[in-house]
């Protein structure tokens, strides 16, 4: 479980299809208060380049959680959007919503 205000941990999100031809990768985080935060390739969202457990290279993204992102305790969700704007029409695929928990720092 991730903890409130943690940073530096790698989050992996699977698409289940090849994203090798991407021009943009976007993660949309939704916190327990329904506030959304977008992270893109410019923010450090990268295409996974090697197989990791059941994740296949080119079919998942990695994002190193930055300071301040995990600012609320509870259930969060994240959605991956793949974009390839070199095709006509533009390819824009939105992945399934994945949930994860952010816990408090104290032990109760």
Domain ranges of the chain: 2-101
CATH topology of domain 2-101: Immunoglobulin-like (2.60.40)
Confidence bin at 108 (pLDDT 50/70/90)? low
Question: Are 68 and 4 spatial neighbours (Cβ–Cβ below 8 Å)?
Answer: no
**Model pLDDT for residues 17-35, shown as the tens digit of each residue:** 999 999 999 999 999 999 9
CA distance 47 to 86: 18
| pTM, entire model | 0.93
Burial class of residue 70, CB neighbours in 10 A (0-12, 13-18, 19+): buried
Q: pLDDT tens for residues 49-78? A: 999 999 999 999 999 999 999 999 999 999
- Max CA pair span of the chain: 55
């Amino acid at each position: 479980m991730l903890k409130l205000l943690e940073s530096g941990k790698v989050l992996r999100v699977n698409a289940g299809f090849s994203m090798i031809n991407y021009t943009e990768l976007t993660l949309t985080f939704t916190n327990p208060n329904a506030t959304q935060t977008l992270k893109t390739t410019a923010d450090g969202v990268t295409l996974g380049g090697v197989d990791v457990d059941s994740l296949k290279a080119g079919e998942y993204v990695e994002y190193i959680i930055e300071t301040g992102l995990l600012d609320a305790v509870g259930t969060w969700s994240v959605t991956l959007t793949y974009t390839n704007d070199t095709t006509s029409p533009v390819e824009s695929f939105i992945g399934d919503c994945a949930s994860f928990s952010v816990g408090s720092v104290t032990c109760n």
